Amino acid sequence: MGRKRGTQSQAIGRSRGGITTKVLALTDAVGNMIDFRLLPGQAHDLREVPALIERLMGGSLLADRAFDADWLRQDLADKNITAVNPPKSNRRFPSTFDKHIYKWRQLVENFFGKLKENRGIAMRSCKTDQSFKVFISIAAVIVQTK
């Protein structure tokens, strides 16, 4: 048996918008990328979160509704990190969050906007994950130095 070939090993998957790749990024307080992971389009965002937050230290983690999971909140609480994300609409007992701090999440959205100004990243023009990761890393450095 040889290695797997094709899109299964290249973080390319099918979602509503077609064949896509998700970029899951961890940024610092001012919106500069610290680390990132690639996911196939159909994968849930929480799948790669444990790898991103294993060495995380800080006061708060700002995220959107997709990251509202009990195990993630507990893991962050064990590390003395405050989870600042709105609860999912289907939660029976919704958790509270600081709406004033949550407004700073726009820095992460701005980072992704700047990253996607590069057409090669927005269109996923690289064939392999390795080259796409390098392309994202170079673009992130360029965004940070501007």
What pLDDT score was predicted for residue 119? 84
Residue 122, in any domain of the structure:
yes
The count of structural domains within the chain is: 1
pTM for this entry: 0.79
Residue 143, in any domain of the structure:
no
Could you read off the pLDDT of 90-139 as tens digits, one per residue? 888 888 889 999 999 998 899 889 988 888 888 877 778 888 888 899 99
CATH assignment of the domain containing 18: 3.30.420
Helix residue spans in the chain (DSSP H): 49-53, 70-78, 99-102, 106-115, 119-122, 129-145
